[in-house]
Amino acid sequence: MPTEEQINDTLRAVVDPELHKDIVSLGMVRSIKQPAPGAVDVVVSLTTAGCPIRSHFETAVRQSVMALEGIEQVSVGFDVLSSEEKQTLQQRLGRKDGLPQGALAAVKNVICVGSGKGGVGKSTLTANLATALQMEGKAAAVLDADVWGYSIPRMLGVHGRPMVSAERKILPLDAAGGVKAISIEFFLDKPDQAITWRGPMLHKAIRQFLEDVDWGELDYLLIDLPPGTGDVSMTLAQLLPQSRFVIVTTPQPAAQHVARRAADTADRYELQIAGVVENMSGFTTPGGERFTIFGEGGGQQLADDLDVPLLGKIPLQEELRVASDEGRPLVLEDPDAPAAQAIFHTARGVIAATPQQLAVLQEPIGPPVPEITGSALPMAP
Ligand code: ADP
């Protein structure tokens, strides 16, 4: 069996395509373990969670270790370098201008919004949640990855064709309230054109939405996933190992096994679940009488089951449906409406559940330059 040193040596063949050096001398090999004879686990530390070259590393590490005698199985895991480690890496490279990073370098949190089935209000909540986050002072954007049932443009009231910047990046469209959005709809020739992509085509499209879109600085990028499990979730899990899942479900306890499947997908790809949102939780008449049309308790049950917080319970409210149909998020239109209030509560829950920067931003070098200089301020008497 090869020794750890031999495995480490063979990893010198794995070169970071952006930094042009091998991962061993870059200090990016976090750990090498041999859990059983013939099996090797390697963990590679990336410069940013949104690192698009992750699959390059995975293949290259596997190939180089497999080439050693006696190795039958290689598993490759990933984590992210801490700020201090990145600074050390920067010094090692002799760079002052920061590390090259993917298009998501300035995105702090990526949240995938998923559901077990369609029609539970996943897109409605994604659109309103992004707007609510923006209203809470967080820069937010929506990536509509629900490629077969794209409805984010309609719900945010944003249509058209994106422009391309001088750097050849796609510029997202601006929706009401300052939310940025990208959807497959913006690239279709005919309205309501049906998408028939699967597998590799889909993977490529999602990848392009992540890599070639100039998302700019964002606190939250919300990704509206297609219902159920499948190709899109898998692609996202590969490209964004640090993203978190929020699962939307209805209150029927009997529907929980369906929602559970979305949670299982997250689990399978080792994505952390930030929480559950229960939608359509009861309807209150103008007279104050409450009907639990879709049952009760399912959201809490799923949250308990997954051992994550229930981030919010959004009541059924006609205004939410009407505002969505008209492209005006209810949280902007009528922030005091009960459904809007419940969405604000959920947004605050999301903020609390994601306190750190996940796709870690580069530390600024040196003290920040003050924006307002003394001379621009009025003199005190
Ligand atoms: P999904 O994305 O899960 O398929 P949608 O967000 O498209 O579901 O929602 C399905 C329909 O239900 C839409 O017409 C939407 O406006 C409506 N809807 C969603 N949540 C609510 C709610 N809490 N109250 C009233 N209507 C809702």
Crossing angle between the packed helical segments 122-135 and 338-353, to the nearest 10 degrees: 70
Q: Residue 307 and residue 266: Cα distance in Å, rounded? A: 14
Map residue 285 onto helix, strand or coil.
Answer: coil
Q: Residue 298 and residue 272: Cα distance in Å, rounded? A: 20
Q: Residue 127 and residue 122: Cα distance in Å, rounded? A: 9
Q: What is the mean pLDDT of residues 13-37?
A: 88
More confident residue, 17 or 291: 291
Whose Cα sits closest to atom 14 in ligand 1?
Answer: 321
105: confidence class by pLDDT, cuts 50, 70, 90: low
259: confidence class by pLDDT, cuts 50, 70, 90: confident
Residue 195 class from Cβ within 10 Å (0-12 exposed, 13-18 middle, 19+ buried)? middle
The region of weakest confidence among 88-97, 136-145, 180-189, 237-246 is: 88-97
Residue 101 has pLDDT above 60, yes or no: no
Residue 381 has pLDDT above 50, yes or no: no
Name the residue type at position 126: T
pLDDT for 195: 67
pLDDT in tens, 170-203: 889 999 899 999 998 888 877 777 666 666 777 7
pLDDT for 51: 65
Atom number, ligand 1, closest to the C-alpha of residue 127: 6
Residue 100 has pLDDT above 70, yes or no: no
DSSP state of 170: B
Angstrom distances, CA of residue 136 to CA of 7, 192, 258, 280, 333:
49, 33, 32, 23, 15
pLDDT in tens, 125-170: 999 999 999 999 999 999 999 887 889 999 999 998 888 877 777 8
182 ligand 1 Cβ < 6 A: no
In the reported structure, the alpha carbon of residue 282 is separated from the centroid of ligand 1 by a whole-number distance in angstroms of 14
156 ligand 1 Cβ < 6 A: no
Whose Cα sits closest to atom 23 in ligand 1?
Answer: 316
Percentage of the chain surpassing pLDDT 70?
86
Residue 111 has pLDDT above 90, yes or no: yes
- Mind giving me the DSSP string for 288-314? S-EE-TT-SSHHHHHHHHHT--EEEEE
In the reported structure, the alpha carbon of residue 346 is separated from the centroid of ligand 1 by a whole-number distance in angstroms of 16
In the reported structure, the alpha carbon of residue 246 is separated from the centroid of ligand 1 by a whole-number distance in angstroms of 16
pLDDT for 140: 97
pLDDT for 318: 96
Residue 329 has pLDDT above 80, yes or no: yes
pTM of the predicted model over 0.75: no
Residue 96 has pLDDT above 50, yes or no: no
In the reported structure, the alpha carbon of residue 370 is separated from the centroid of ligand 1 by a whole-number distance in angstroms of 45
Residue 211 has pLDDT above 70, yes or no: yes
Structural domains for the chain: 4-92 (3.30.300.130), 107-353 (3.40.50.300)
119 ligand 1 Cβ < 6 A: yes
Q: What is the mean pLDDT of residues 89-104?
A: 58
Q: For the chain, give the mean pLDDT.
A: 83
In the reported structure, the alpha carbon of residue 309 is separated from the centroid of ligand 1 by a whole-number distance in angstroms of 22
Q: Residue 3 and residue 325: Cα distance in Å, rounded? A: 62
Q: What is the mean pLDDT of residues 37-42?
A: 94
